[in-house]
Amino acid sequence: MIILQVNSPGTPVSLVLFFGTIGMLVLTIGLIVFIIFHQRKVIRYQMQLQHMEQEQQKVLLNASIRLQEEERQRIAADLHDDAGPLLATARLYLNENLVNLDKTTQLQSIYNAKQIIDDTIQLIRNISHSLMPPTLKNFGLESAVNDLFQKISGSGSMNASCRFHDYRERLHADQELIIFRVIQELVNNILKHSNASFIHLTQNLSGNKLYIRLHHDGRGITQADFDKLNKSSVNVGLGLKNIQSRLKLLHGRIYFEKDISQTYYKVTIEIPRLEEEPVAPQI
């Protein structure tokens, strides 16, 4: 006897639905697992970035503290080593025995004491000017930078020039002081280390940002060099860290690059025009 087995018409469709459902389930689970791992990876990356930013903030804070401490130590040394002995010498000329001396000796002692006091006044004035240049205070950043570059050119050590194109309105005094200190630091670095024959500074406004650019034809650094030195703990990067810690107060940035002609280096300072004064740093 022959038995015929007849498959139900719905069986192939059921298998397709079954395997399709399994496939969709596996795909869904795989997608969920991928999203979870991706989110964890993103979270780890964000935590690394946050940690790096915190470390960078510590570096900038330490640089700012060192900068202020160095400035205080320099002022203390100037007062102790220069002003102190001068005043002590003036006191010797104006001691209590002065009244017992003859008139000629008295006048000579008073004259000598006056000369020493005048020297002390000039010394203290120089210290004060180093903290806040009078040209900067009275006439603004453009005049102070022009004065700085004229002195450099006048020394004969380098051909220095600068030009401000869009500085019709002064910034706040604290902002101008910070920018001037940054320019001073950059110029000092160029004078000390670049062996350049010229340095030129320009100032421009673009939108709500102020740009200051320094060009020189000596040895310089690129942005990669700056990033490396800025992350370093050695003293060679201390001046650069001081620059960045100052610019941080103004929410500013600095860029180092070599011109496409490979003939000179360019340093660009980018600073937003702040509406409110930053906290005044005593540096």
Query: β-strand 159-164 against 265-272: which pairing, if any?
Result: unpaired
Instruction: Classify the C-alpha dihedral 43-48-49-55 as positive or negative.
Output: positive
DSSP symbols for 146-175: HHHHHHHHHHTS-EEEEEESS--S---HHH
| CB neighbour list of residue 145: distance below 8 Å, 6 or more residues apart | 162, 164, 180, 183, 201
Residue 71, classed as helix, strand or coil, is helix
Provide the pLDDT for residue 111: 87
| CB neighbour list of residue 212: distance below 8 Å, 6 or more residues apart | 179, 183, 201, 202, 203, 268, 269, 271
Provide the pLDDT for residue 12: 67
How far is CA 250 from each of CA 3, 139, 182, rounded to the nearest angstrom?
93, 21, 11
Provide the pLDDT for residue 130: 67
Provide the pLDDT for residue 4: 43
Return contacts of 58-61, CB within 8 angstroms, 24+ apart: 59/230, 59/231, 59/241, 60/241, 60/244, 60/245, 60/248, 61/245
Provide the pLDDT for residue 3: 44
Provide the pLDDT for residue 33: 83
Provide the pLDDT for residue 6: 44
Which residues, listed in sequence order, are joined to residue 199 by a DSSP beta bridge? 160, 216
Q: What is the pTM of this model?
A: 0.60
DSSP symbols for 18-35: HHHHHHHHHHHHHHHHHH
* Distance of alpha carbon 98 from alpha carbon 77, whole angstroms: 31
Instruction: Give backbone dihedrals phi and psi of 213, rounded to 5 degrees, phi first.
Output: -125, 135
* Distance of alpha carbon 256 from alpha carbon 221, whole angstroms: 6
The 253-258 sheet, strands edge to edge: 159-164, 198-206, 209-216, 265-272, 253-258
Provide the pLDDT for residue 202: 94
Which alpha helices (DSSP H) does 164-237 contain, by range? 173-193, 223-231
Residues recorded for the chain: 283
- Identify residue 38 by its one-letter amino acid code: H
Residue 260, classed as helix, strand or coil, is coil
* Distance of alpha carbon 3 from alpha carbon 83, whole angstroms: 123
- CATH number, span 133-272: 3.30.565.10
Rounded mean pLDDT for each run of 10 residues along the chain, 283 residues in total: 46 71 82 82 79 66 63 71 80 77 84 87 75 81 91 85 87 87 89 89 90 92 82 61 82 89 89 60 44
Provide the pLDDT for residue 149: 92
Q: Where are the domains of the chain?
A: 34-131, 133-272
Residue carrying structure tokens 């024959």: 197
User: Is residue 98 within 8 Å of 112, Cβ to Cβ?
Assistant: no
Provide the pLDDT for residue 1: 42
